[in-house]
Amino acid sequence: MAYPDNLLSDGELVVVHKHPHWKTLVVPVIAFLVVVAAGLYLAGLVSDTSWHSVAWIGLGAVGGLLVVWLTLVPLVRWRTTHFVVTTQRVMYREGVLSRSGIDIPMSRINSVRFQHGLVDRVFGCGTLVIESASDEPIEFDDIPHVEQVHSLLYREVNDNPDDDFHPRSGWEPHQA
């Protein structure tokens, strides 16, 4: 799914659009399986009692709340978190009911680096660290294919034709 064009400036194009890596959904999926298994086990325990229908309603309500809190909320949070690199800036947006975000213009980026440990390397993700001109380094965790994103972002920052010296005959800068 492309990032909404109405949020971009004129002439701005999306280069990369990523959600956090799917590994962030492993714990919510495990929580879902545990809640369902525990609910089925407890429903089986109370099935021989005279008040089993009331117990099943209570178990269903508690199980439903746990599934929403432990599985659905993280899934929606994952889906509404965006890491976007455009031709003019890096954007990060997150949140469901209240949104927050940060934009870093390409011209303000001083350096880009990445880091990933063994588990991140196995899953193919990592942390992207962007140092801008005036702020502390900003870390973006669980970026899928972090090495490729790092390389692409580095090229976007450093391949600005207005900043490059293109020697021609007589060593004059290239005129656009």
Instruction: Please report the pLDDT score of residue 164 as a whole number.
Output: 43
Tokens standing for residue 157: 């920052």
d(CA 150, CA 27): 27
Tokens standing for residue 22: 């799917």
d(CA 135, CA 63): 44
pLDDT in tens, 66-111: 999 999 999 999 999 999 999 899 999 998 889 999 999 988 888 8
Specify the CATH number of the domain 14-19+83-158.
2.30.29.30
Instruction: Please report the pLDDT score of residue 33 as a whole number.
Output: 97
The answer to whether residue 170 scores a pLDDT higher than 50 is: no
The whole-chain average pLDDT of the chain stands at: 86
Instruction: Please report the pLDDT score of residue 2 as a whole number.
Output: 58
Instruction: Please report the pLDDT score of residue 38 as a whole number.
Output: 96
Beta-bridge partners for 126? 143
Instruction: Please report the pLDDT score of residue 175 as a whole number.
Output: 37
Closest by CA position to 31, among listed 7, 56, 67: 67
